[in-house]
Chain A
Amino acid sequence: MQFLQLVISGISQGCIYGLIALGFVLIYKATETVSFAQGELMMLGAFCALALMTLLGFPFWLAVISAIAAMALFGIVLERLVIRPILGQPAFSIVMLTIGIGYVARGAITMIPGIGTETHTLPVPYKDMIWNVGALVLNVEQMAVIGTTAVLCLLLFAMFRYSKLGIAMQASSQNQLAAYYMGIPVKRLNGLVWGLAAAVAAVAGLLLAPITFVHANMGFIGLKAFPAAVVGGFGSLPGAIVGGLIIGIVESLSGFYLPDGFKDTAAYIVVLIMLMVKPNGLFGETLRKKV
């Protein structure tokens, strides 16, 4: 029972990693760049919802929806202003650029007097509720994470499978030039992908907020999502979620069964092993370049 309990809490933590990793993968597939600012986008989303709820007095659901929409818009604007001018440059410069964005976001939040340096709790309606299922004690906050992630994955799956927009995104992620020739507005799609990634990050932030707290440094959890993305295969959307779950469960189990210190490094040990054994990840596609 102890084991099952640990697995469930691992799954809920893993869902957060998975959602952030989903953002990496979306951006990586569309624009071949890796955003190191994904954790900070998540932090901004949580702060946005917090501001809407406590300062403007929005009801919970309205605040959640407007925070997600605001972050999506923010992602689109960010892509247009900062990322697009340097597309086509080596991946390294874009990595540095997103690190810079992360710095600015973290610093800007810290600079808000009275709010930035404190930790806050997001007032959610399901705070501190507990379900008892047999001998298991289920935390509603964790269940909300798992449930929302599942729903979000279904929505994304449906979008990529059935909607014109999703299919266009897939096409442009497979071969941008060919997509251009087919009349797909690749540049606008790139903006939308950044918006989508920011929205997913905001969802992750809102789900994480009740479990930990809302503070300026909560974005560092994004660094744990890199292992998730790599374990699943950097270019694969289901891989991101599966990778997140694996990292979450490994972390939760190693925190209990292994000596101190392994909990924090478990994710990184897993990713190093993965890179040595199967560098493309579990779901990674192998593509070959023809010379």
Chain B
Amino acid sequence: MRFIFKTDYGQDIQLAKHGGHVFWYGALMLLLLAAPWLFPEYWLAQLTFVLIYSIVGLGLMLLAGFTGLFSIGHAAFLGVGAYTQAVLTNMGWPFPLALLCAGLLSAAVGVIVGLPALRVKGIYLGIATLSFGFIVEEVLARWESVTGGNAGIQVKPPQLGGWKMDSGMEFYFLCLVIAVLATLAILNLLRSSTGRAFVAIRDSEISAQSMGIHLARYKTLSFALSAALAGVGGALYAHKLQFISPDQFNILQSIDLLLMVVIGGLGSVHGAFLGAIFLISMPQLISLSKDHLPDVIGQAPGLQAVVYGAVLIGFVLFEPLGLYGRWLKVRTWFQLFPFYRKGLFKRQKSFQKSDRLR
């Protein structure tokens, strides 16, 4: 059992709360650094995808989990980033500059989407982002002179100066560096006044406003940051796949991203990573289990959708805090060992909070 006595404000916003954090995250970092020598090529590729999705997930988590605005068209930002990166690197731009442009352009698009978000709430915002996602997908498919239309576009491996990163290992390290930087950026943002303003908006817009938080500014900022991270993730995604086409950024991808943050655990940075691990490992687990199931179920094409849907329903009903919530419960059980109560994380039943009356 560990007791932490907080005696000043600085302690409250420290990145590492105690030595255990430093030790375990350090160990994780070492493991990730050693991964190329520990795991076979295929696993490393999957790990790279986990990192890429984590970056996108961090962005969506900032928007949905911390600011409380949800976007059902997030794949559009992913697409904008991926296409910007593809077009610019094919024109011969160096990788860092193209990545910066991909992030900035996505952020600019995010601001454009964020503007209607100032007026609408809840489900209306969901529908606005959904519509936006469809429009971007259509633009990507139709603007053939730039995007290559439905035929897609080839993406070259990233190039830093004269150094061409075409092996899986080099690209993995690139993604790792960007993912760590993104995580640190989000963690630092969340302990700054801006991050606390986001959380205040999520918890209650009215009280946030009366505390002097400029709703419009912070909501737009949240959209821009979230879109920028999605754009960076999209750029890496384009490099990893080396081929992109508009149908990779459709509504199903957007829903997958949402599913990722919800299953990971809304409102926690860990959730973005856990969700990404879930999203990448789920198809593998399903294909592994196929051999042990009767043919009628195992070989059916809809199996994956059913499992995804069932897992999602299960999480929303029984574990609304997601995978991170489950982890929290296990950890608390060990910390409080003989004194753990069953109702410790019980949700407060609130009667029908109205979305209409706001």
Interface residues, chain A, CB within 8 Å of chain B?
Answer: 28, 32, 34, 82, 85-97, 99-113, 116-117, 176-177, 216, 223, 226-227, 230, 234-235, 260-261, 264-265, 267-269, 271-272, 275-276, 279, 287-289, 291
Residues of A contacting B: mostly: helix
Question: Which residues, 48 to 75 on B, are CB-close (under 8 Å) to A?
Answer: 64, 70
A269-B317 in contact given A100-B312, A275-B116 (Cβ < 8 Å) = no
Q: Among B206, B309, B313, B320, which residue has its beta carbon within 8 angstroms of that of A107?
A: B309
A95 contact set on B, CB distance < 8 A: 70, 123, 126
B: contact size bracket: 35 or more
- Shortest CB-to-CB span from B231 to chain A, Å, is 21
Q: Mark B115-159, 1 if CB is under 8 A from A, else 0.
A: 010011011101110111011001001100000000000000000
Q: List 21 A-B contacts (CB under 8 A).
A: A32-B354, A88-B353, A92-B266, A94-B316, A96-B259, A97-B316, A100-B309, A100-B311, A101-B313, A111-B303, A116-B302, A177-B351, A265-B134, A268-B131, A268-B134, A268-B135, A269-B131, A272-B116, A275-B127, A289-B354, A289-B358
- Report the separation of the CA atoms of residues A197 and B108 in the bound assembly, to the nearest whole angstrom: 40
Alpha-carbon distance A268/B72, docked complex (angstroms): 13
Q: Which residues of the partner chain A approach B317 to less than 8 Å between Cβ atoms?
A: 82, 85-86, 97
Q: Which 4 A-B pairs have the closest CB atoms?
A: A103-B309, A110-B302, A107-B305, A268-B131
Interface flags for B222-251 (1: CB within 8 Å of A; 0: not) read 000000000000000000000000000001
Residues of chain B touching chain A, judged by Cβ–Cβ distance below 8 Å, are: 64, 70, 116, 119-120, 122-124, 126-128, 130-132, 134-135, 138, 141-142, 206, 251, 255, 258-259, 262, 266, 296-297, 300-313, 316-317, 320, 347, 349-358
How near does chain A come to B299, taking the closest CB pair, in angstroms?
9
Residue pair A117, B301 in contact (C-beta under 8 Å): yes
Identity of the chain B residue whose Cβ is nearest the Cβ of A92 in the assembled complex: B70
A107-B312 in contact given A272-B116, A279-B124 (Cβ < 8 Å): no
Q: Which chain A residue has the least Cβ–Cβ distance from B358?
A: A289
A264 is contacted by which of B138, B258, B305, B356 (Cβ under 8 Å)? B138
* Min distance, Cβ A126 to any Cβ of chain B, angstroms: 32
Shortest Cβ gap from A229 to chain B (Å): 8
**A113-B296, A177-B351 are contacts. A287–B64 as well, Cβ < 8 Å?**
no
Q: A107-B307, A272-B128 are in contact. List 20 more A-B contacts (CB 8 A).
A: A32-B354, A34-B123, A88-B349, A88-B350, A88-B351, A88-B353, A95-B123, A96-B258, A97-B313, A97-B316, A103-B309, A103-B312, A106-B309, A107-B309, A111-B303, A117-B301, A268-B134, A271-B128, A275-B120, A275-B127
CB closest residue in chain B, given A285: B356
Return B38 CB to nearest CB of chain A, in Å. Answer: 35
Q: Which of B127, B302, B320, B354 is in CB contact (< 8 Å) with A227? A: B127
A231 to chain B, nearest CB (A): 10
Other-chain contact of A104, B262, B306, B356 (Cβ < 8 Å): B306
State the CA gap A92–B141 with chains docked (Å): 30
Looking at A104, A105, A276, A288, the one whose CB has the most chain B CB atoms below 10 A away is A104
B357 and A223 form a contact (CB under 8 A): no
> Hey, which chain A residues are within 8 Å of B307, CB to CB?
107
The answer to whether A230 and B124 touch across the interface, beta carbons within 8 angstroms, is yes
Residue of B nearest to A106 (CB): B305
| Chain B residue with Cβ nearest A289 | B357
Question: Which of A91, A101, A279 has a CB less than 8 Å from the CB of B355?
Answer: A91
Chain A residue, CB-CB nearest to B351: A88
Establish whether residues A111 and B138, one from each chain, have CB atoms under 8 Å apart when the complex forms. Answer: no
A279 in complex: contacting residue of B119, B266, B297, B354, CB < 8 Å: B119
Most buried by A among B116, B131, B301: B131
Residues of A within 8 A of B258 (CB): 96, 99
A108 and B64: CB pair below 8 A?
A: no
Give min CB distance, B311 to chain A, whole Å.
8
In the complex, chain A residues whose CB is within 8 Å of the CB of B116: 272, 275-276
User: Which chain B residues border A105 with CB–CB below 8 Å?
Assistant: 309
**For B120, what are the chain A residues with a Cβ–Cβ distance below 8 Å?**
275, 279
- From B127, B135, B141, B312, A269 is in contact (CB under 8 Å) with B135
Assuming the contacts A97-B313, A103-B309, asked whether A235 and B356 have C-beta atoms less than 8 A apart, the reply is yes
Contacts of B135 in A (CB 8 A): 265, 268-269, 272
